[in-house]
Amino acid sequence: MADEAVFEFLHMEMVAHIHREAVKDEKDQCISKLEALGFRVGQSLIERFTKECSRFKDELDTMKFLCKDFWGLVYKKQIDNLRTNHQGVYVLQDNKFKFLVQMSTGKQYMESAPKYLAFPCGMIRGALSNLGVNCIVTAEVSAMPACKFQIQIQRT
């Protein structure tokens, strides 16, 4: 259990630090900075995780890997629900998201929750971009600690 706590604390401090150090007119760049951090981490992580896997057959295969193996290795659990409209939009639902579990349930901290989802969004985007899938990832919290990640694949 100890090794998971280390990353959780580091992430909390990272979010707090970036928001603390931001100059008044750069406040809105905090989320992008965190997302960019997550992007680079996601790229390296996916390279390490897919080292032993066989090749992915198609996009759905890639998303399933993301939901099961990637999520399992990073957050020690799997995604609870994966939905798709088969037109490039995937919704990943996690009912007990790692970084939100420590915050109290209820409406009090809902506004600050998105700050803690920026890094995971970036990680998903980085992981997918290294696998050759360009996408936009957004997250929303309807009820703590559950959250939904929406992945929109950009087809060129």
Partner 1 sequence: MAACVAVIAKENYPLFIKTIPTENELKFYYTVHTSLDVVEEKISSVGKNTNDLRELYLGLLYPTEDYKVYGYVTNTRVKFVVVVDSTNASLRDNEIRTMFKKLHNAYVDMLCNPFYKLGDNITSKGFENIVKGMLQQD
**Which residues of the chain form contacts with partner 1 (CB under 8 A)?**
40, 43-44, 46-48, 50-51, 53-57, 130-132
29-49 and 2-21 are packed helices; what angle lies between their axes, rounded to 10 degrees?
150
SS3 144: coil
Closest approach of partner 1 to the CB of residue 18, in Å: 17
Which residue, 100 or 124, has its beta carbon nearer to partner 1? 124
Which residue, 74 or 139, has its beta carbon nearer to partner 1? 74
Which residue, 28 or 58, has its beta carbon nearer to partner 1? 58
Which residue, 54 or 142, has its beta carbon nearer to partner 1? 54
Q: Which residues pair with 99 in a beta bridge?
A: none
Closest approach of partner 1 to the CB of residue 76, in Å: 20
SS3 72: helix
Closest approach of partner 1 to the CB of residue 51, in Å: 6
What is the end-to-end Cα distance of the chain in Å, rounded? Answer: 43
What is the C-alpha separation between 154 and 156, in angstroms, rounded? 6
Closest approach of partner 1 to the CB of residue 127, in Å: 10
What share of residues in the chain are helix, strand, coil (percent, to 5)?
55, 15, 30
